């Protein structure tokens, strides 16, 4: 196996050290971090139970924004 030397800032080294498990090598840390898969959006479907107040705030804001956008488009 060959080895490569890389340079990292003190800040990056501190962050990597914080992520590294106690008996984990930096090579293992890099492999673990580089093999992570991004979660699929579908994995989160149905996870958030929205309250009625949250629903009104979100959808009320959207209706207001779409209304303002529509006014701008039609007034030109």
Domain boundaries, the chain: 48-74
Count of CB atoms within 10 A of residue 40's CB? 8
Confidence at residue 45, expressed as pLDDT on a 0 to 100 scale: 87
Place of tokens 């956008």: 69
pLDDT tens-digit readout, 7-44:
999 999 999 999 999 999 999 999 999 998 888 888 88
Confidence at residue 76, expressed as pLDDT on a 0 to 100 scale: 66
Confidence at residue 70, expressed as pLDDT on a 0 to 100 scale: 77
Output the DSSP codes for 7-76. Answer: ---HHHHHHHHHHS-TT--HHHHHHHHHTPPPPPGGGGTT-----HHHHHHHHHHHHHHHHHHHHHHHT-
Name the residue with higher pLDDT: 56 or 74: 56
């Amino acid at each position: 196996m060959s080895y490569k030397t890389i340079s990292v800032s003190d800040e990056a080294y501190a962050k990597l050290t914080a992520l590294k498990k106690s008996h984990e090598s930096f090579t293992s840390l890099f492999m673990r971090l580089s093999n992570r898969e991004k979660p699929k959006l579908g994995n989160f479907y149905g996870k958030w139970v929205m309250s009625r107040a949250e629903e009104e705030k979100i959808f009320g804001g959207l209706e207001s924004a779409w209304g303002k956008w529509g006014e701008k488009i039609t007034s030109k």
